[in-house]
Amino acid sequence: MPDPIVPAAVPGITAAPGAQPTDDQRLIDLVNTVVGSRLERALPRALEGALAPHLARLTPQAPSAPPETDPAKRLTALEQELAASRQREAKQRQDVRETQAVAALKASLAPRVRPELLDVVASHLFHVSKAVTAGEDGSVTFAHGGQQYSLAEGVSEWAKTPQAAVFLPAPKPAPKAGPFTQPRATGPGQQPFAETPAQRTDRLFAMLPR
């Protein structure tokens, strides 16, 4: 007869010497082994989380600075805080005025400058050349040639300079007269005339090569 099958050894299984462990004993030992291994990994983290609030209360805190009791020093500190607050407010108002001035500059440049270069020209005139100034009263001036102009006048004067020519759109060529262009009177005292369909047909046929 074949030899009986002996179950493989399971860690943690205890049985009487020479006796085979029962299925219940194997299950109990296996559960104990799994639970024990998990506790070994989870218990330190659980203890650390549970003890952290208590340890934080036991940690000595750095002493806070005592409140200033000297009236003169308190007044100086308040004056410094007030001055800093006013500077921040003035900077915010100036930023708003500059944003509005740049928008007005772009609106004045738009009819004159090539669209793809509008942002570049406006940024150069405002931030690099410092030609545009936003006043505290909301006015916007344009400095050109040592003189102060209104924004529209300054842009107009700037557009006449050779430096502005590269940013301006190319002049449009005059339309050429073609065979389908209606003839108009060019002599003095002559009036333009309306061409009838028959006259137009005769004129076009007369232009064909013979």
Q: Where are the domains of the chain?
A: 72-165
- CB-neighbour burial class of residue 157 (10 A; exposed 0-12, middle 13-18, buried 19+): middle
Query: For residue range 39-77, what is the model confidence (pLDDT) as tens digits?
Result: 666 666 766 777 677 667 766 666 666 666 778 888 888
DSSP E strands: which ranges in the chain?
132-134, 140-144, 147-150
The residues, any chain, with a CB within 8 Å of residue 4's CB and separated by 6 or more, are none
How far, in Å, CA of 205 to CA of 93, rounded? 72
Whole-angstrom distance, CA of residue 201 vs CA of residue 204:
5
- How many H helices and E strands in the chain? 6, 3
Q: Who contacts 169 (Cβ-Cβ below 8 Å, separation ≥6)?
A: 113, 114
SS3 143: strand
Q: Are 136 and 92 in contact (CB under 8 A)?
A: no
What was the pLDDT predicted at 187? 47
Token pair, residue 61, equals: 């805190």
When computed from its CA atoms, the radius of gyration of the chain, rounded to whole angstroms, is: 46
pLDDT reported for residue 12: 47
Q: Please identify every stretch of the chain with a pLDDT value under 70, giving residue numbers as ranges.
A: 1-21, 23, 26-27, 30-32, 34-44, 46-47, 51, 54-55, 58-68, 170-195, 197, 200-210
Give me the pLDDT at residue 36, please.
65
SS3 106: helix
SS3 content of the chain, % helix, strand, coil (to 5): 55, 5, 40
Measuring CA to CA, how many Å separate 21 from each of 4, 9, 16, 37, 204?
Answer: 14, 10, 8, 22, 118
Question: From CA 35, how far away is CA 76, in angstroms rounded?
Answer: 67
For residue 148, the SS3 value is: strand
pLDDT at position 71: 81
